[in-house]
Amino acid sequence: MKIFNYFGNYFSNRETFQEIIVIPVFATLLAIFLGLLLLIVSGSSNEIALKALIALFYGSFGSISSISETLTAATPLIFAALGIAVGFKAGLFNIGAEGQIILGGMAAVIIGFSFQLPFFIHLILILLVGALFGALYAFISGWLKATTGAHEVITTIMLNLIAYRLLDFFLRIPSIQKEGRNDPISKSILDTAELPRILYFLDPNLRVHMGFLIAIFAVLIVYWLIFYTTIGYEFRAVGKNLEASRYSGISPSMTIILAMSIAGLLAGLAGASQIAGVLGRATPGFSAGIGFDAIAVALLGRAHPIGVLFAGILFGALIAGGRQMQVSADVSLDLITVIQALIIIFIAAPVLIRKLFPWIFR
Amino acid sequence: MYFKKFLKISSGAFAGVLLMTINSANAFTACQVTDVGGVDDKSFNQTAWKGVQDAVAKHGIDSKLLESKSETDYEPHLNSMVNAGCDVIIAVGFLMGEATKNAAEANKDSKFTIIDFAYDPTVPNILGQVFATDQAAFLAGYVSAGVSKTGIVGTFGGINIPPVTGFMDGFAWGVKHYNKVKGKNVQVLGWDPDAKEGLFTNNFDSTDDGKAFAQNLYDEGADIVMPVAGPVGLGSASLADELGSDKLKIIGVDGDWTQTDPARKSVYLTSVLKKMDVTVLSVIESVKSGSYSGGVTVGTLENGGVGIAPYHDLSSEVSSELASEVEALRKGIISGSIVMNK
Amino acid sequence: MKLHEISKSFGPVKANSNINLTVDRGEILGLLGENGAGKTTLMNILTGLYKPDSGKILIDNQLREFHNPREANKNGVGMVHQHFMLVPVFSVTENIILGEEPTKRFNKIDLENAKNKVLKISSEYKLDVDPDQIIEKLPVGIQQRVEIIKILFRDAEILIFDEPTAVLTPQEVVEFFEIIKNLKKTGKAIIFITHKLHEVLEICDRINVLRRGKIVGEEYPKKTDKKKLAELMVGRTVNLRTSRKKMEQGEVLLEVNGLSILSDNKEYVLSNVDLKLHKNEILGIAGVQGNGQTELVEALTGLRSVSSGKISYFGKEYKNFSPRKIHQLGVRHIPEDRQKQGLIGEFSLTENSILNTYYEEEFSYNITLNWTNAKIEAKKIIEKFDVRTNSENISANKLSGGNQQKLLIGREMSRSINLLIASQPTRGVDVGSIEYIHNQIVFARNKGIGVILNSTELEEIIALSDRIIVLFEGKVIAEFPSDTDPNIIGLAMAGEN
């Protein structure tokens, strides 16, 4: 009951509900509608547009394997977007999730193939070290901002570029590079370091893995951290009003460094879970732009942990559904990119949604 | 157990209803999963897709396509094709080797074929298509050495993997052979076939890189460049187009670039052909007729799986002696009288 | 000009209901009202920002409708806002023509002509403004004149002033009143919005009092007094003069010796300041805004590092200490800008209630916050300090200015307190709340607390302080006992000793 009271503080609030659920839902529906309209305008038949729409839903939620694919794609997005949301709460715009994912994933790979450890311990270690390296990498940006005032947008973008090159470099080190290959590809992690597939008992091909459960757990932890701890209180105070937080005795520098590091920690977990749950090895493109998609997810989730969870699943659904769309309706995957972009536009302009659907906000 | 069964049945039924509306998968269907370059890369993805389309035109089959946006897409894309009930799944590219093997082992009833990957030992439901592109590139290298005015030619690759470096090996060997026969000293920049090291863009999609790498080679004195990185080479071609073909010539790879990129056809000396469209078509036909079996097929000069394109606009640059020497080399390689790496 | 039966509602809130208002040429109409009484809404309707739900606006007996400020301008209605709308790096002339740039051929701006017109207006109304000066180099009083020229430039016949004296020194106020009188002589109609009672009595020909969206009274300066006006405004009897019995100074709580602060651009914003604060004492710091008061308060509360000098609290010297450490000494700080420093607008009242105590045992266990106790604290402040709200869960920026300030003061004064540093405690607060806040400050002082009161309102300083020091250009240039003639203090504030 107590928890419910607390919860009511933040969520039973009508406005928060609109912010986090209603606007994103309508933004998404509108974006899908416009995406299909674009399809028809560009010369596809109505039938194909309908097929694409059905495929989009079928491919994302229509079967156990679609749901599995949706959640698999959602997992790293949720982790990284949670990190970005923590940054948002503290007034930081962390563009560097991509780099942090790379560092976290890279560290996870190295841990994954170089140690012979029992199953559970190895798994814990690979995740912890991945998170640690993500955090360390983000710490650099936080530290630079706190001590020199260097803007985190600039430093994280630069660190992303450095991370790409670091990855190229690491993948060519003989002790990391896969035996017998000249191209940049790492050794594979051992079975003991893999995140088990949680629907293995239904069908071994269902890829959704334990990382998704950990992601949900992370959502709860971050929710608690932001709204029920002094640390989260400090983050939000610094994010909303730097002057007032200084007045209240909070050290903005320490807060910025800590917030950035936690953001990196979560992005690092995204990288580690991707390695341990899906890929099993690192290649130059293993981060696959997840760090950038996660920015969109964090925005769509209005930087609220619960919002991020749903937004992450939605983006995962777009990825899985988009695949089905290309297979069965022969519609290019680029349409998904268009829909994602439209969603972000509508989220960035909530007034537009309020104007278009006045009846839902009455 | 009951639960498991229930899930399977209910989801299966639901899927069935939906699939009927979205999949008209009753006809024979050939499905392709492309690599990250995209299906319109004017290079290997496109060439392979042409094979599928030829099959569609010739036999009236259905086709499906999935373009990979990143390496993380390979596995789910291949699985999607399996679920879509494809009769044959064509994986384009060496990098998909592992993912294809995993998918094939998990779905033993599906038939796969992969371009540029040969499994050892072979997998019963994958037919690997590899190409002796070094044979064709050898000819291109020989021609280049003969045509170059600066005495320097260059090459660069996408990623340091065998299907790429095969071109570069052959090219360098061809130049070396020319030097040996003619007593010249034409240099090759960008690839050392013995150390297996050279220039790589580390991607298959940045035309900016293609331009920059070609510019570097040109600055070092090269007047003929062979980019082996799919659409990246188009960037090199645009540099050659700006400089003029007297300053810089390009050698295309995979397809005949004078055909795929006619706007700049004057810069292409020749192209090293890797006729994936032909092999893809024949694999589809073999599946259709029931003669498909896993293993490896190798495209060579002898069976026409590889070759070099005509000189087209730049044929005036290639003297008739040089052209006939190349033709003699071709026969020599087929007969085995010429060993390339010597 | 005549307003007839103007009404405007925002949702269930009636901001203006059936307001009738007239102002004639050559007349100064005072519009008096508390914050939230509907003054701003009414003026926004007049200047075309809002459309009234019902009612008519008549100018020279002709029905007018404005859809935007530009249309209002064209019809001769101009407004000088409380916060100036000037571009600091532009010259006077450039600012004046902004938005209506006169052009020569090829769209070139005709600065020469504009400048002549500015000069003409300036001399006609004795405004004495140099059209080529850059705004940021001008004192606030002159900037206000630039605003006046700006609306005269657009041929305004009806001039509306929103709290025009809030930012001026006493001398500037005198000069400003002269200007208004000149404008009146030339036949302009003037609406003067304020909540300062003595000003309307001094300058206006007629006074309308607004309360809860309604005109509740019309008075004439000669037939009324402050007390009556205040009662009309607040709707109940108001005690204007806070009663303050004399008290003996106690021991020294705070001592500052030779305090100097260098600003970022290497100028002394505070030089060699000495001061002492005793128990049972309210020390008023008078001065025109921007003479080092902000920096002094920031230094005392640990928000700004000190270049040289000593600060001792309770007999012990503290060097570059953190705001939290000072807070832990029982030094409470009411910052001058509640929205920028004192409160977090998007935080709920509960969250704001623990802004500088959230880490204390009462509100957190390790890192877990105790929202139950925080809520109790919020409710306590709301009740004890009369914060008008229906829930402690709404965000602070939904409260009116006065209620925000009461929440802030409540938070600072409800817990153990040894010393209070209050900056502009009643800025932008309505009369009813001012009375309440003043009483709380005096009450605290009577209990044995030392108070530093930093205010640009001389009236407030005089009403509350036991001792007054004047800051001018970063130096303490004078010290006065509380019963000094305001004019003498006013002169000191202007730097004349």
pLDDT, residue C186, reads: 87
pLDDT, residue A150, reads: 94
Q: Domain for residue B19, yes or no?
A: no
User: Would you say residue C494 has pLDDT above 80?
Assistant: no
Query: Pick from A229, A240, A247: which is nearest to C346 by CB?
Result: A240
| Domain extent at residue B148 | 133-273+311-335
- pLDDT, tens only, B249-272: 999 998 899 988 899 999 999 999
CATH of segment(s) C2-234: 3.40.50.300
Give the mean model confidence (pLDDT) for residues C461-469. Answer: 90
Chain B positions touching A166 (Cβ under 8 A) are none
Answer for the pair A305, A88: CB distance below 8 angstroms, yes or no. no
pLDDT, residue C130, reads: 86
Give the max Cα distance, chain C.
Answer: 75
CB contact under 8 A, A244 and C322: no
Q: Domain for residue B172, yes or no?
A: yes
CB contact under 8 A, B202 and A279: no
pLDDT, residue C7, reads: 72
Give the mean model confidence (pLDDT) for residues C78-102. Answer: 83
CB contact under 8 A, A204 and B72: no
- pLDDT, tens only, C240-261: 666 677 777 888 899 999 999 9
Q: Give the Cβ contact number of residue A331 at 10 Å.
A: 24
CB contact under 8 A, B71 and A72: no
pLDDT, residue C10, reads: 65
Q: Which of B90, B88, B96, B144 is nearest to B119 (CA)?
A: B96
Residues 6+ apart with CB under 8 A from B168: B137, B155, B157, B190, B191, B193, B198, B226, B228
Query: Pick from A54, A183, A285: which is nearest to B22 by CB?
Result: A54
User: Would you say residue B15 has pLDDT above 60?
Assistant: no
Judgement on whether residues B160 and B125 belong to the same structural domain of the protein: no
Chains interfacing with B (3 or more CB pairs < 8 Å): A
Chain A positions touching C368 (Cβ under 8 A) are 228-230
Judgement on whether residues B220 and B286 belong to the same structural domain of the protein: no
Q: Domain for residue B143, yes or no?
A: yes
SS3 for C170? helix
- pLDDT, tens only, B154-188: 999 998 888 999 999 999 999 999 999 999 999 99
CB contact under 8 A, B66 and A51: no
Judgement on whether residues B193 and B126 belong to the same structural domain of the protein: no
pLDDT by position in tens, chain A (length 362): 333 344 444 444 556 777 777 888 888 999 999 999 998 998 888 888 999 999 999 999 999 999 999 999 999 999 999 999 999 999 999 999 999 999 999 999 999 999 999 989 999 999 999 999 999 999 999 999 999 999 999 999 999 999 999 999 999 899 999 988 878 889 999 999 999 999 999 988 899 999 999 999 999 999 999 999 999 999 999 999 999 999 999 999 999 999 999 999 999 999 999 999 999 999 988 999 999 999 999 999 989 999 999 999 999 999 999 999 998 888 888 888 899 889 888 888 877 888 888 777 66
Domains present along chain A, CATH in parentheses:
27-39+46-361 (1.10.3470)
Most confidently modeled range among B163-177, C9-23, C197-211: B163-177
A332 touches chain C (CB under 8 A): no
Chain A positions touching B15 (Cβ under 8 A) are 58, 62-63
Judgement on whether residues B284 and B328 belong to the same structural domain of the protein: no
Residues 250-289 of A with CB under 8 A from C: 251
- pLDDT, tens only, A196-241: 999 999 988 899 999 999 999 999 999 999 999 999 999 999 999 9
Please give the full DSSP string across C56-113, using - where no structure is assigned: EEEETTEEE--SSHHHHHHTTEEEE-SS----TTSBHHHHHHTTS--B-GGG-B-HHH
Give me the sign of the Cα torsion angle B313, B319, B322, B324.
Answer: positive
Query: Pick from A63, A278, A284: which is nearest to B15 by CB?
Result: A63
Q: Checking DSSP bridges between strand C54-59 and strand C28-33, what pairing results, if any?
A: unpaired
B105 phi, psi to nearest 5 deg: -75, -30
Confidence of residue C436 (pLDDT cuts 50, 70, 90): confident
Chain B positions touching A74 (Cβ under 8 A) are none
Cis preceding linkage at A174, omega within 30? no
Cα of B182 to nearest chain A Cα, Å:
33
Average pLDDT over chain C reads: 85
Residue C298: both structure tokens together: 């920031």
Give the mean model confidence (pLDDT) for residues C155-159. Answer: 86
- pLDDT, tens only, C322-353: 899 999 999 999 998 888 899 999 999 999 99
Residue A192: both structure tokens together: 């003991």
Q: Which of A123, A143, A141, A119 is nearest to A131 (CA)?
A: A123
CB contact under 8 A, B66 and A55: no
Torsion over CA of B155, B156, B159 and B161, rounded to 10 degrees? 20
Do B and C touch, 3+ Cβ pairs within 8 Å? The answer is no
Q: Give the Cβ contact number of residue C307 at 10 Å.
A: 15
Judgement on whether residues B204 and B267 belong to the same structural domain of the protein: yes
What are the E-state strand segments in C246-362? Answer: 252-262, 268-278, 282-286, 308-313, 316-317, 331-334
For B323, counting Cβ atoms within 10 Å of its Cβ (0-12 exposed, 13-18 middle, 19+ buried), the class is middle
User: Would you say residue C145 has pLDDT above 60?
Assistant: yes
Residue to mutate among C358, C360, C361, C404, with most A CBs inside 10 A, is: C358
Residue of C nearest to A250 (CA): C324
> What is the separation, in whole angstroms, between the first and last Cα of chain A?
29
Judgement on whether residues B198 and B316 belong to the same structural domain of the protein: yes
Do A and C touch, 3+ Cβ pairs within 8 Å? The answer is yes
Q: Domain for residue B233, yes or no?
A: yes
Give the Å distances, CA to CA, from C211 to B168, B342, C196: 88, 102, 15
- Does residue C364 or residue C216 have the better pLDDT? C364
- Report the C-alpha gap between B254 and B295 in whole angstroms: 22
Domain count, chain B: 2
pLDDT, residue C1, reads: 66
Instruction: Measure CA B55 to chain center.
Output: 19
Q: Domain for residue B7, yes or no?
A: no
Residues 6+ apart with CB under 8 A from A73: A315, A316, A319, A320, B76
A149 touches chain C (CB under 8 A): no
pLDDT, residue A13, reads: 56
> What CATH number does the domain containing B36 carry?
3.40.50.2300
Q: Domain for residue B3, yes or no?
A: no
What percent of chain B is predicted at pLDDT more than 70? 92
Give the mean model confidence (pLDDT) for residues C451-478. Answer: 89
Confidence of residue B318 (pLDDT cuts 50, 70, 90): very high
- N residues, chain C: 497
- pLDDT, tens only, A138-150: 999 999 999 999 9
Chains interfacing with C (3 or more CB pairs < 8 Å): A
Map tokens 């209180």 to a residue.
A233
- Report the C-alpha gap between C231 and C238 in whole angstroms: 6
Judgement on whether residues B89 and B153 belong to the same structural domain of the protein: no
Residue C174: both structure tokens together: 């005198």
Q: Which of B278, B154, B296, B289 is nearest to B217 (CA)?
A: B154
Judgement on whether residues B157 and B108 belong to the same structural domain of the protein: no
Backbone angle region of C37, left / alpha / beta, with phi > 0 → left and psi within -120 to 50 → alpha: alpha
Give the mean model confidence (pLDDT) for residues C110-135. Answer: 84
- Report the C-alpha gap between A142 and A261 in whole angstroms: 7
Q: Domain for residue B1, yes or no?
A: no
- Report the C-alpha gap between C42 and C50 in whole angstroms: 9
CB contact under 8 A, C368 and A247: no
Average pLDDT over chain B reads: 89
- Does residue A2 or residue B149 have the better pLDDT? B149
- Does residue C390 or residue B253 have the better pLDDT? B253
Residue to mutate among C369, C393, C398, C407, with most A CBs inside 10 A, is: C369
Please give the full DSSP string across A112-168, using - where no structure is assigned: HHH----HHHHHHHHHHHHHHHHHHHHHHHHHHHHHH---HHHHHHHHHHHHHHHHH
User: Would you say residue B103 has pLDDT above 50?
Assistant: yes
3-state secondary structure C196-218: CHHHHHHHCCEEEEEECCEEEEE
Give the mean model confidence (pLDDT) for residues B292-318. Answer: 91
Angle between helix C111-124 and C140-153 (nearest 10): 110
Query: Pick from B11, B31, B71: which is nearest to A64 by CB?
Result: B11
What are the residue ranges spanned by the domains of chain C? 2-234, 252-493
- Report the C-alpha gap between C418 and C450 in whole angstroms: 7
Residue to mutate among A17, A248, A250, A258, with most C CBs inside 10 A, is: A248
Helix (H) or strand (E) segment spanning residue C178:
helix C170-185
Q: Domain for residue B306, yes or no?
A: no
Rounded to a whole number of angstroms, the CA Rg of chain C reads 24
Map tokens 């001398």 to a residue.
C171
CB contact under 8 A, C324 and A228: no
pLDDT, residue A11, reads: 43
Residue C254: both structure tokens together: 């705070």
pLDDT, residue C73, reads: 81
Residue B337: both structure tokens together: 């009288």
- Report the C-alpha gap between C291 and C477 in whole angstroms: 11
CB contact under 8 A, A251 and C371: no
Chain A positions touching C356 (Cβ under 8 A) are 247-249
Please give the full DSSP string across A232-250, using - where no structure is assigned: HHHHHHHHH-HHHHHHTT-
B21 touches chain A (CB under 8 A): yes
In this structure, which topology does domain C252-493 adopt according to CATH?
A: Rossmann fold (3.40.50)
CB contact under 8 A, A54 and B196: no
User: Would you say residue B309 has pLDDT above 50?
Assistant: yes
